[in-house]
Structure 1
Amino acid sequence: MLPGLPVEILQEIACQAPTAEKKALRSVCKDLALAMDCLIFTTVILNTLGLHSADGPGMIETLATGALLTDWSRFPTALKIDLVKHRPPKEYDPPNDRLEGLLHLALSSMPNIRTVVWAIHWGYPTWPRRAIMHFINSSQLIDEIEIRIETRVDMDCSWEQVRGIRKLTINSRYTPTILFAQLTRLVANTRSLEGLHLLAPAEWSQFWITLREQNMHLTDVATNNVTDDFLRYLGSYSGLQRLTLQYPSASTEAESNRLANHFFGSVLPQHKASLLHLSCVAWFEGCWSFGTHNADVISGLHRLSRLWMSVNGHDVQHEHTDNYSEWNAPERLLQIATELPVRHLGIFPADPEESRDTLAGDYKHTFRVSQGIITALLGFAARSSSPVRCGSWCQAQVVRAKYNH
């Protein structure tokens, strides 16, 4: 009976199943296999370091000709490059025109790729880089690119012809100046850009200055480095839909609080009519956390469906201390969430300010505040007229410690 259902219904059912069950369904019969193929063969993982192995040329040639892996050519929509880490061999970058040509054919054989995730590391070979950049530059369908910079590397990539991408993510532990300058130009040249995620210990100001000068209005923004230039950019327009501030802070408590007060006082209200998702989980206690200073602006985000925020310890009622404010931040945040269309709520404890210069947070503090958050949630759920909704928050969305975030 199941194989007799329309393909669209079979795929809708299979979308709810884990990958192992999709594979089991595919093995039942030809009709189910055809329906499952586009759900199973979604991502190609290309380990360019492995191209130097004995099997490397054969693997590229097989993919390039489509002789055996036609499903891997027809169905994938995502290409992940170099996610498998190996130590580079000594002679890692010999010129290889034949392999470069085969890799070019292999990539061109996948016409439906829309997402590219590229991990760049030290010693990256020249010939795969040229083939990959040719593919990215020539594709008309790629609309999302994620660059992961794994090591201290500064290589020259040609992005001049990349057009049409909607989202760019740069995730790095380092600051390669040449590559960042090239990516800044890419942002300036990409008028279709809607989302920009910049996550690295880097100074992103030039990106935000470029966006403001080009009058480009993003709808999806994420960063771990809040600066005056960033706030000037967000404050220059309205219409932001998703905003992630990953542990916003500054070098000092005073500077951090100054930036936070500017954000909640002048910048966030610019987007209250459009914002759907807000994540602002502070690393240290202060004005980035939810409190009396920003409760009104948070409650005014009338379209919000996802909200993640941190709270300060003195605003949470918990055991083992008599030193807390009678204003209970978690309870007020829960109340605001019930008044808004919030479906996903996360409440996290911030570390105390005195741990700013230490390598580890105060775990005892984190545990006490987390227990206070859970206590507030359970008490609120018991009194709430929407027990099912509060129950779902209790099970999945209120996290005991920010280290799980």
Structure 2
Amino acid sequence: MLPELPVEILQEIAFQVSTAEKKALRSVCKDLALAMDCLIFTTIILNTLGLHSADGTGMIESLVTGALLTDWSRFPTALKIDLVKHQPQKEYDPPNDRLEGLLHLALSSMPNIRTVVWAIHWGYPTWPRRAIMHFLNSSQFIDEIEIRIETRVDMDCSWEQVRGIRKLTINSRYTPTALFTQLTRLVANTRGLEGLHLLTPAEWSQFWITLREQNMHLTDVATNNVTDDFLRYLGSYSGVQRLTLQYPSASTEAESNRLANHFFGSVLPQHKASLLHLSCVAWFEGRWSFGTHNADVISSLHRLSRLWMSVNGHDVPHEHTDNYSEWNAPERLLQIATELPVQHLGIFPADPEESRGTLAGNHKHTFPVSQGIITALLGFAARSSSPSIVVVGVRRRWYELNTTTNPDASFEYFIQR
């Protein structure tokens, strides 16, 4: 009988089924419910926009009652705040000490929260913010925080007591100065920080200046704004394991190429002994793409298991180009990948320089370049007897390396699930 199996085996079975099927199993009997609880109650979603509505009191009381009367509150490891896509018609923020106390009690009842994702928006009520900040400042076990800033309005958030986090992600549509200053202080106070993902529309270089001045060495770094301060920080030490440059560029082609030359020439070599993942997909053609200027440093990353790069159109042979350079960038990138322990390779066409400043990319350019990349991929025969790449992505199409059907390595298209 299924309920008589050990809990560990039941959970292994449940890992293979959907959430709906897990819930169905949970409803069968008490033993199955206990086995499923730790798999179902892993994430709590808290819509604080609804907390100060007419139903807010009932929502929090139900949360607290459920936590006190059952064991479910010990299972969640992630707390997601305000992911519901709606906003109040107007700012309505009456003081409510009772609800604030209840929310604090509900949050405190979940001792195993390790990850917090908090979306901050305009009209944010004060009392939930105080309860959330108290929870963040008092918890000893949170090790990852993601802040999604969806407002131009600054908020007063006290981060002084937040300790112990290993990764901080700041994903912002705007750049509120006071809030970013507070988050910079959080970075300075978090001596054990290992990862920082700073994805903002503005160049908030103070983060990188603070890290360099504090002599803090991150191992997981992501940014969509490559600046001189960022490169000075990254070049000041060795040991980065995961590096994501999300569409690196600058206001002009010349400035973008200058930053790229500095990165590939002086900064990236600092981390060649440690780098496991590198993503450097340029928005526009230029020196950020893979080419003859950086092939040697890419090939020296001997521990790399994941590599995403863009290529320039004139380095990809295809029927719609008149100025092909006769240097086949996709083929060379594939060859380098087979010589490294790469298991996942992404090759993407960059937009032409004349697209800079426009809202949309140049499909007439990128489509034939993508087809040229696929042609190079399907015609590629690895020189290595046991090539290491498993999956190659070209825009939204994915190919899996197959070495069993014939003596030569070949890539076969498959559906990415």
Scaled by the length of structure 2, the TM-score of the pair is: 0.89
Deviation at 1:71, TM superposition (A): 5.0
Q: Which segment drifts farther, 198-207 or 165-174? A: 198-207
Deviation at 1:28, TM superposition (A): 3.8
CA distance in 2, matches of 1:375, 1:28: 53
Counterpart secondary structure, 1:13:
helix
CA distance in 1, matches of 2:268, 2:12: 38
Contact 1:280–1:288 (8 Å) recurs in 2: yes
Change (3 A) 1:71 1:41: farther
Unaligned runs of 5+ in 2: 388-415
Counterpart secondary structure, 1:196:
strand
CA distance in 2, matches of 1:67, 1:246: 41
Q: Deviations over 1:237-261 (max 9, x none)?
A: 1110000000000011011001001
Deviation at 1:72, TM superposition (A): 4.2
Change (3 A) 1:197 1:216: same
Q: Which segment drifts farther, 83-92 or 217-226? A: 83-92
Deviation at 1:326, TM superposition (A): 1.4
Q: Which segment drifts farther, 10-19 or 41-50? A: 10-19
Q: Which segment drifts farther, 40-49 or 10-19? A: 10-19
Match of 1:390 in 2: none
Q: Deviations over 1:360-404 (max 9, x none)?
A: 1111111011111111111115988558xxxxxxxxxxxxxxxx9
Change (3 A) 1:313 1:71: farther
Contact 2:338–2:384 (8 Å) recurs in 1: no
Change (3 A) 1:91 1:223: closer
Name the count of aligned residue pairs.
389
Deviation at 1:283, TM superposition (A): 0.1
Change (3 A) 1:371 1:69: farther
CA distance in 2, matches of 1:323, 1:384: 31
Contact 1:60–1:106 (8 Å) recurs in 2: yes
CA distance in 1, matches of 2:382, 2:273: 32
Contact 2:260–2:287 (8 Å) recurs in 1: yes
Deviation at 1:204, TM superposition (A): 2.1
Deviation at 1:36, TM superposition (A): 1.7
Q: Which segment drifts farther, 299-308 or 46-55? A: 46-55
Change (3 A) 1:128 1:328: same
Q: Deviations over 1:291-340 (max 9, x none)?
A: 01001111110111110010000000112334212111111111111111
Contact 2:37–2:72 (8 Å) recurs in 1: no
Deviation at 1:217, TM superposition (A): 0.4
CA distance in 2, matches of 1:19, 1:301: 40
1:57 aligns with 2:39: no
Matches within 5 A, 1:335-346: 335-346=335-346
CA distance in 2, matches of 1:67, 1:112: 13
Contact 1:63–1:69 (8 Å) recurs in 2: no
Contact 1:23–1:40 (8 Å) recurs in 2: yes
Deviation at 1:67, TM superposition (A): 6.2
Q: Which segment drifts farther, 2-11 or 130-139? A: 2-11
1:250 aligns with 2:254: no
Contact 1:62–1:68 (8 Å) recurs in 2: no
Q: Deviations over 1:52-93 (max 9, x none)?
A: 222210110121233687354121111111110223143511
Contact 2:91–2:123 (8 Å) recurs in 1: no
CA distance in 2, matches of 1:149, 1:69: 35
Q: RMSD between aligned alpha carbons?
A: 2.0
Instruction: Name the structure with the higher helix share.
Output: 1
Contact 2:314–2:321 (8 Å) recurs in 1: no
Contact 1:62–1:69 (8 Å) recurs in 2: no
Q: Which segment drifts farther, 272-281 or 54-63? A: 54-63
Matches within 5 A, 1:377-396: 377-380=377-380
Q: Which segment drifts farther, 291-300 or 17-26? A: 17-26
Q: Deviations over 1:116-144 (max 9, x none)?
A: 10000001111000000000000011110
Change (3 A) 1:91 1:376: closer
Change (3 A) 1:262 1:84: same
Contact 1:253–1:286 (8 Å) recurs in 2: yes
CA distance in 2, matches of 1:303, 1:241: 9
CA distance in 2, matches of 1:103, 1:67: 12
Instruction: Give the % identical residues.
Output: 93
Counterpart secondary structure, 2:347:
strand
